[in-house]
Structure 1
Amino acid sequence: MTNSMTSVGFTVKPMPVGAEVTGLDLEKPVPDATRAALYAAWLEHGILLFREAVKTNAQHLALSRCFGELEMHPMPEIRSKDEPYLIELGGSRRTSASAYVYDGDQLREGRLPWHRDTAYTVEVCKGALLRLVEVPPKDGETLFADSQKAYEQLPEATKQRIEKLEYKATLRMGPFQQSRPGSTWHSVRPPTSGEFSGPTQLWAGKEIINRYPSVVHPVVIQHPETGRKCIYISPTYVDCFIGMDQVESDALLAELAGYLADPANVYAHRWTPNDVMLWDNRRFLHAAMGFDPQYHRTGLRTTLAGSLRSGRYFATQTEDFVPATNIND
């Protein structure tokens, strides 16, 4: 795809990872030819950045629908009351904002390790469009990792090892549960009262975690639209690789997470208000670096329907357990 696409109403500027779209006019309906070209650019680059492009929820929804039908997020607690296809990130919907101290001296709220959205369900969503409305004056970056590029970097022996492997995934919430390979910190602790006077309890209770039973997904997928292979794990939710003991499993998880987080495969976005990031959730993972809790960071996000239906519910293994030969069964 060429850099210039002004004939269809926008220009694509490739970045080392992903691409930026400029010149798109969202003040009027998006023509079919423009929608098709946007979709092609998305499949090619995996993430698209629209800087300061969306000013209203209506524009956010219209841009989202250029990439397919929308679905409601599986957690109703974070859906917008005004528009159920939008979820609210940060702000009043999180009933208690939690801050923790990372790596000994970084007091941060909203820090999240590498993950794929909804990978704790049997149907991992196709993609998402995130727009930040309120941005802290420093920090608060979101990282995006290209699992297609990471797969291509793997040694051939590792590719063969993981080709038909599956992993068990369970929803984990909170930094203590998420401090596994794929986290973006080495240590974490609650802050002292002098460091932070707010709550340090997880906003979601056990009833939410228990709502989502463990699932199984393949470690490698072939992208259904591009045909390219991707490392399909969501590190923060990985319990173990099926058929491995925990030590062997954790070692493999650390190895794969290292390829995913290779700086050559990562784009770090520093937000300004009304930026929109679109990512292909089948190909890209993301992580949030968090921000100083004296500031605020709020956003809105849509979720694209059309999952791979790649998962199945996990059942306790019996002596005659056989991994699924067709993950779609």
Structure 2
Amino acid sequence: MELETRPLQDNFGLEVLDVDLENMDEATFDAVYKLWQQDPLLLFRRQSITESRLVDFSKGFGKLERITRDDMYSPAFPEVIYITGLKRPDGRALGGLGVYELHWHHDQIYRVWPATGSIFYATEMPESGGNTWWCNTALGYASLPDDLKAEIDGKTATAKFGYKSQRSFQRDFSKDGDRVKVLHDRTPPATHPIVLTHPVTGEKSTFLDPNKTMAIEGKSEEETQDLLERLFAHIVRDEHIYAHEWRNGDVVLWDNGRLMHRRDGYDPDIPRFAKRTTVFLKPDDFAVPQPDAANHGP
């Protein structure tokens, strides 16, 4: 079965047309699965999905992460987290990630056993602000000069939650200092291969974080930061980036093994609400940093 698609731009990202995720047969799902293997970013517009169906659809790609923070997940489905700056009547956050700008990152790179598939369902989006940007690190790797490739091929890098280098543009978490310190202290550093190879397409991508990567194998801290700066000067370029203006009903699938992303901040007085599942993508089908992660993750 071949799906009808429309390119989001010239080099990556596809809008999948005429597919209803709430009511999908097996043949259509199989076609979506194969399409995601080929392109790291898929968009479905005008969707209306129950949380139950969102979970079932997501499980088709692999085991789902179950969120342990009860202030972020759906009361009915702990696999579904709420992404919002909205508050409950008692003033507590209704979900996670607030309204502030989020800088370039790979989700869960700081985890020993990361899940790398993200499925994001936008239910209420502001007319302006809160856009999400994706950077294709496979295109980034392909653009590297040979000497830079030689510095990272076969090497590992270590990331840490809450790590903030002198060159970092990471948000200042001072308002959440106590919670972040607890998470920082109980989250051990995580070491992963820098270069991932996709088992189906053969393309190589980088798995590094401008903020959380703290060490590269065989490099001092200063050498690590210098190498990261040189790498990201090639990787984070306009021609490797897609910026998405959300509409209500958008569903986006993205592969964290091949994409970094960032989010613009937005007006806290304007509602923004989304639901997300996170998938341990199958190592035989996708580029994953830890092939056994699904057997260890929450």
State TM-score, norm by structure 1.
0.75
Whether contact under 8 Å (1:134, 1:297) holds in the other structure is yes
Where do residues 100-249 of structure 1 align in structure 2 (5 Å cutoff)? 109-172=99-162, 177=164, 180-181=167-168, 183=169, 200-201=175-176, 204-249=179-224
Offset, 1:201: 3.8
> Residue by residue, what CA displacement relative to the aligned partner does 1:20-46 show, whole Å, maximum 9, x if unpaired?
111002342x22221111111111111
State TM-score, norm by structure 2.
0.83
Structure 2 match to 1:23: 18
* 1:131 counterpart letter in structure 2: Y
**TM-align CA RMSD:** 2.9
> Residue by residue, what CA displacement relative to the aligned partner does 1:53-108 show, whole Å, maximum 9, x if unpaired?
234323422432343332224655422222111011123489469xxxxxxxxxx9
Q: 1:210 & 1:189 partners in 2: Cα distance?
A: 17
Q: 2:262 & 2:70 partners in 1: Cα distance?
A: 22
Q: 1:222 & 1:22 partners in 2: Cα distance?
A: 29
**Seq. identity, %:** 29
The SS at the match of 1:304 is strand
Query: How has the CA–CA distance of structure 1 residues 251 and 288 changed in structure 2, closer, same or farther, with 3 Å as cutoff?
Result: same
Residue 74 (structure 2) aligned to one of 69, 76, 80: 80
Question: Is 2:227 the partner of 1:252?
Answer: yes
Structure 2 match to 1:310: 290
Offset, 1:208: 2.2
Whether contact under 8 Å (2:122, 2:274) holds in the other structure is yes
Q: 2:232 & 2:72 partners in 1: Cα distance?
A: 28
Q: 2:125 & 2:197 partners in 1: Cα distance?
A: 36
Whether contact under 8 Å (2:103, 2:262) holds in the other structure is yes
Q: 2:259 & 2:252 partners in 1: Cα distance?
A: 12
Query: How has the CA–CA distance of structure 1 residues 218 and 152 changed in structure 2, closer, same or farther, with 3 Å as cutoff?
Result: same
* 2:245 counterpart letter in structure 1: R
Stretches (4+) displaced over 3 A: 73-77, 92-97, 177-181, 199-205, 306-309
* 2:155 counterpart letter in structure 1: L
Whether contact under 8 Å (1:230, 1:283) holds in the other structure is yes
Q: Which moved more, 1:11-20 or 1:36-45?
A: 11-20
Residue 37 (structure 1) aligned to one of 31, 38, 43: 31
Gaps of 5+ in 1: 1-6, 98-107, 191-198, 313-329
Whether contact under 8 Å (1:67, 1:304) holds in the other structure is yes
Question: Is 2:4 the partner of 1:14?
Answer: no
Structure 1 match to 2:249: 274
Q: 1:110 & 1:284 partners in 2: Cα distance?
A: 21
> Residue by residue, what CA displacement relative to the aligned partner does 1:110-142 show, whole Å, maximum 9, x if unpaired?
211111111111122131101122212211001
Query: How has the CA–CA distance of structure 1 residues 180 and 57 changed in structure 2, closer, same or farther, with 3 Å as cutoff?
Result: farther
* 1:295 counterpart letter in structure 2: I
Whether contact under 8 Å (2:161, 2:183) holds in the other structure is no
> Residue by residue, what CA displacement relative to the aligned partner does 1:232-264 show, whole Å, maximum 9, x if unpaired?
112221112132222221111112222332111
* 1:111 counterpart letter in structure 2: E
Structure 2 match to 1:291: 266
The SS at the match of 1:252 is helix
Query: How has the CA–CA distance of structure 1 residues 221 and 136 changed in structure 2, closer, same or farther, with 3 Å as cutoff?
Result: same
